[in-house]
Amino acid sequence: MIDPQAARDLLAFYLEAGVDAVLDDEAADRFADETLPPPTAVARSPESSERPAAGPQTRRATETPAVVLPPPDAATAEAREAARTAQTLQDLRAIVERFEGCGLKATATQLVFADGNPEARLMLVGEAPGRDEDIEGRPFVGRSGQLLDRMLAAIGLDRSSVYIANVLPWWPPGNRTPSSYETQICLPFIQRQIELCNPEVLVCLGGSSAETLLGQKGITKIRGRWFNYDTGTRAIRAMPTFHPAFLLRSPLQKRFVWRDFLAIKKALSG
């Protein structure tokens, strides 16, 4: 007899690993010996030469054909051209929702575009949504998002006075690190998002965001320093700092982020 608690623990493990969809009605042993001969075909009489009735697997193959992704360079060029046509954030969101060039879209529940006030003077950009964000469709709503809310409150801000987004708008399954190709393909969208939001101060949450947007590596060395983010029409003051998820694992580093947020507050009041 199966232990109910063990079954629940196993399901929880699958969810954390990104296994969130059933592919077949029956379990398949992926470790079975692939050298075994295929099942013997059953001969049919001429009278039964009609196509057999579609079973679950046949219908599934017909209804959900495999998605063929374009090469990364072609997908990036397509994203760049599409993003350039967006005149508003609403236009950009619709463009990203229609975009089929990134494989993350096929595994994500929904688009995680942004949260907060698009007219805010402060914009914060993380790396990618997590599982909680994928479910709710908003960035930074899990434990790291709750910490971010407290960090903002400490300098007198909340989600109505900031704009929050991610470099990638779809959840990488299992919370894995996005590939360089996925980041490259989605980069034109966040670049255009920053241009349209046009904040006075840009905060890169985490080393990945800082490297992607500012070309700076080594978050421990660069956090708390001011850089310029060039939109092509103006330079935006930008600061990298630690990601809230990192602070949950390393709470002693919060004191450094507190200094960073005080500097951000000063920049906004100047």
The average pLDDT across 122-140 equals: 97
CB contact at 8 A, 204 and 214: yes
Residue 155: closest CA among 267, 268, 261, 247: 261
3-state SS class at 182: helix
Domains within the chain, CATH numbers bracketed: 72-269 (3.40.470.10)
142/148 Cα distance (integer angstroms): 10
Q: What is the pLDDT of residue 20?
A: 57
Residue 140: closest CA among 155, 125, 154, 153: 125
Two tokens at 117? Answer: 């006030």
Q: What is the pLDDT of residue 64?
A: 46
Taking the chain, what is the end-to-end CA distance rounded to the nearest angstrom? 67
171/228 Cα distance (integer angstroms): 28
153/139 Cα distance (integer angstroms): 17
DSSP 221-232: HHTT--EEEE-S
In this model, does residue 61 exceed pLDDT 80?
no
Task: List Cβ neighbours of 55 (8 Å cut-off, separation of 6 or more).
Answer: none
Q: What is the pLDDT of residue 243?
A: 98
Question: Helix 89-98 vs helix 72-84: angle between axes, to the nearest 10 degrees?
Answer: 150
Least confident of 24-38, 59-73, 171-185, 217-231: 24-38
